[in-house]
Amino acid sequence: MNSDATGKSGSQRRIGRSIFAVVIGILVGIVLSVGTDLGLHAIGVVPSLAERWPDQLLILATAYRTLYGVIASYIVARLAPRRPLLHALIGGFLGLFVNAAAAIATWNTSPGPHWYPLALAVLSVPPAWLGGKLHERERRSQSAATTIP
Beta carbons of 87 and 23 less than 8 angstroms apart = no
* Alpha-helix runs per DSSP H in 52-124: 55-79, 84-106, 115-122
pTM: 0.87
CB-based contact 125:86 (threshold 8 Å):
no
For residue 92, what are the domain limits?
11-108+134-147
122 domain-assigned = no
Give yes or no for residue 138 having a pLDDT over 70.
yes
Give the total number of structural domains in the chain.
1
Which pLDDT score is estimated for 71?
Answer: 98
Mean pLDDT over 60-81 rounds to 98
What sign has the CA pseudo-torsion 87, 126, 97, 56? positive
User: Amino acid identity, residue 120?
Assistant: L
Distances (CA, A) of 45 to 22, 32, 68: 31, 17, 19
Give the 3-state secondary structure of residue 110.
coil
| Residue 1 pLDDT class (50, 70, 90 cuts) | very low
Q: Residue 16: which of 95, 88, 79 has the closest Cα?
A: 79
Does residue 3 form part of some domain? no
Classify residue 118: in a domain, yes or no.
no
Tell whether 67 is covered by a domain. Answer: yes
Task: Please report whether residue 141 resides in a domain.
Answer: yes
The verdict on residue 27 lying in a domain is yes
> Residue 23: inside a domain, yes or no?
yes
Residue 148's pLDDT is 59
What span, in angstroms and rounded, lies between the C-alpha atoms of 36 and 133? Answer: 25
Would residue 100 count as lying in a domain? yes
